[in-house]
Amino acid sequence: MGLLTALEGGHGDRGDAVVVDGRAMSWEELLGAAGAVAERVAGAPALAVLARPTAETVAAVVGGLLAGVPVVPLPPDSGPKERSHILRDSGATLLAVPPGEQAEDVETVPVDLGARSGATFAEPAPERPAFVLYTSGTTGAPKGAVLPRSAVAAGLDGLADAWRWTADDTLVHGLPLFHVHGLVLGVLGALRTGSRLVHTGRPTPGAYAGARGSLYFGVPTVWSRVTADGTAARALSGARLLVSGSAPLPVPVFERLAELTGHEPIERYGMTESLITVSTRADGERRPGSVGLPLDGVRTRLVGEDGGEVPADGGSVGELQVAGPTLFAGYLNRPDADAEAWTADGWFRTGDVAVIGPDGFHRIVGRASVDLIKSGGYRIGAGEVEAALRDHPEVADAAVVGVPDDDLGQAVVAYVIPGGPVTGEGLTDFVAARLSVHKRPRRVVLVDELPRNAMGKVLKKQLLERG
């Protein structure tokens, strides 16, 4: 069985099997256009794809996979420096673009959706790279994570099992096609399970409501906007499953989604380097603030700063480490980064801090670098304080960081988007009444918005620069 089983003819076909921003294709049409790309790129060291939310992007990605050429999604808004680094570092000698576009720095491959190819391609070996996906590069130039085809297959099969995802579903989302969430899960997932795919172009509440899907993907920003539009949210009541990821879903948004749609959302956890490793289940309990249980074949553990294992007692915080078949093969040409990322006994260091309960449920506290705050001898998870702040009826959103402090080492500072009349003192008292007093914010800054990346994650290093 190949990686993209829907294109092998085992699920039948329909004229609108894949719809991207209004452009509909059957699987046969997609396979024909992708085959033409595959003929053109076969043998190349890597294929960069200008990953706009278009049908051409989907055909180009599938074409690279058919030819066994590693696909390098290029963010369409990447600046010249980032773009040049990705092309040079990945070794991509070709860039797939819509017809009529050219590039000065690399040879282009026009993607013609009307093209057809009768060529056939042998299924590449499972260990062959499917993608080189570049991380956000918060501590330097982006690193290329090499994802083997076997990891992609294992990850998608694990999610199909956990979410009861089948060919009877219609998947709907409007997420970027240069990230794991939108591209690997949101496109290849449909092409592996055989489900119909509707990419809305932009993830607006109206577009989601009008798509009439059974399975929806979104990031917290998307779901927050959906819940603000009661009519659109209620239109999702006919869905089977709502999935949120890429950042923690605020508990009030979780609860409002459940109230308006009748569905408690699924939350899951993963990284570029690991794909999805932990998720709540379609037929299991869904707890606000929890990402659930490891997928089949995935192992997790918590490790303390001393290298010792942290107990799964529901309260102890440690760095989350994972092992299993969904992991990447390493960073491209970065043995130094590989050495830092892997333990001597073969576990991947996620860099995230988490809590695991006795029942195995996982709760992500945040990034060790910015979300584990050491204040006055205490270890404080920023996510716990953020969740407490969001419980306040007049708080729209919040982000918490640890700012250097001469007395405490780090002071807990909260950046809050107010949804009504609030004061810093009142919010500090609100948190202190719900959590241990040492977890209260020492300073509250009221802001109009929080800096975020394309997937809705708060850019906390920018907040730390504000002090």
Nearest to 134 by CA among 69, 61, 54, 78: 78
At 266 the pLDDT is 97
What does the chain come to in residues?
467
pLDDT in tens, 142-183: 899 999 999 999 999 999 999 999 999 999 999 999 989 999
Q: Is the residue at 319 inside a domain?
A: no
Tell whether the model's pLDDT for residue 301 goes beyond 80.
Answer: yes
Q: Are 296 and 312 in contact (CB under 8 A)?
A: no
Mean pLDDT of 265-290: 95
Tell whether the model's pLDDT for residue 186 goes beyond 90.
Answer: yes
DSSP 8-class letter at 9: T
Q: Are 367 and 353 in contact (CB under 8 A)?
A: yes
At 128 the pLDDT is 96
Mean pLDDT of 37-49: 97
From residue 118, give the alpha-carbon distance in Å to each of 97, 121, 329: 22, 10, 33
Tokens 């599938």 belong to which residue?
Answer: 62
**Environment class of 380 (CB within 10 Å of its CB; exposed 0-12, middle 13-18, buried 19+):** buried
Mean pLDDT of 58-75: 96
At 377 the pLDDT is 65
Instruction: Point out the domain boundary residue: 187, 206, 241.
Output: 187
* 395 token code pair: 């708080």
| Residues above pLDDT 70, as percent of the chain | 97
149 bridge partner residues: none
Q: Is the residue at 220 inside a domain?
A: no
* 298 token code pair: 């995935």
* Structural domain for 73, as ranges: 5-187
| Residues above pLDDT 90, as percent of the chain | 73
Instruction: Point out the domain boundary residue: 187, 204, 232.
Output: 187
Mean pLDDT of 363-383: 78
In angstroms, the CA 189 to CA 393 distance is 38
* 79 token code pair: 């600046």
Task: Report the 10 Å Cβ neighbour count for 114.
Answer: 9
Pairing relation of β-strands 372-375 and 362-367? unpaired
Tokens 């004061």 belong to which residue?
Answer: 423
* 372 token code pair: 């584990």
* 423 token code pair: 């004061």
Q: Is the residue at 221 inside a domain?
A: no
pLDDT in tens, 114-137: 998 878 889 999 999 999 999 865
> In one letter, which amino acid is 254?
F
Query: Given pLDDT bands bounded at 50, 70 and 90, which one contains residue 10?
Result: low
What is the DSSP secondary-structure string of 333-372?
T-HHHHHHHB-TTS-EEEEEEEEE-TT--EEEEEEHHHHE
Element containing residue 271 per DSSP (H, E): strand 266-271
In angstroms, the CA 467 to CA 461 distance is 10
Q: Is the residue at 406 inside a domain?
A: yes
Tell whether the model's pLDDT for residue 1 goes beyond 70.
Answer: no
Tell whether the model's pLDDT for residue 237 goes beyond 60.
Answer: yes
Q: Is the residue at 249 inside a domain?
A: no
At 140 the pLDDT is 60
467 compared with 201, residue with greater pLDDT? 201
Contacts of 446 (CB under 8 A, 6+ apart): 416, 417, 418, 422, 424
Tell whether the model's pLDDT for residue 277 goes beyond 90.
Answer: yes
Mean pLDDT of 278-293: 95
* CATH number of the domain bearing residue 11: 3.40.50.12780
Lowest mean pLDDT among 3-7, 136-140, 291-295, 324-328: 136-140
At 138 the pLDDT is 45
Q: Are 320 and 352 in contact (CB under 8 A)?
A: yes
Listed in order, strand segments (DSSP E) in 1-101 are 18-20, 23-25, 47-50, 71-74, 94-97
Task: Report the 10 Å Cβ neighbour count for 452.
Answer: 16
Number of domains in the chain: 2
Query: Given pLDDT bands bounded at 50, 70 and 90, which one contains residue 461?
Result: confident
Q: Are 4 and 62 in contact (CB under 8 A)?
A: yes
Query: Given pLDDT bands bounded at 50, 70 and 90, which one contains residue 373?
Result: confident
* Chain mean pLDDT for the chain: 91
* CATH number of the domain bearing residue 452: 3.30.300.30
Best mean pLDDT range from 159-163, 247-251, 399-403: 159-163
Instruction: Point out the domain boundary residue: 164, 187, 210.
Output: 187
At 307 the pLDDT is 87
Tell whether the model's pLDDT for residue 94 goes beyond 70.
Answer: yes
Q: Is the residue at 128 inside a domain?
A: yes
Q: Is the residue at 394 inside a domain?
A: yes
Q: Is the residue at 424 inside a domain?
A: yes
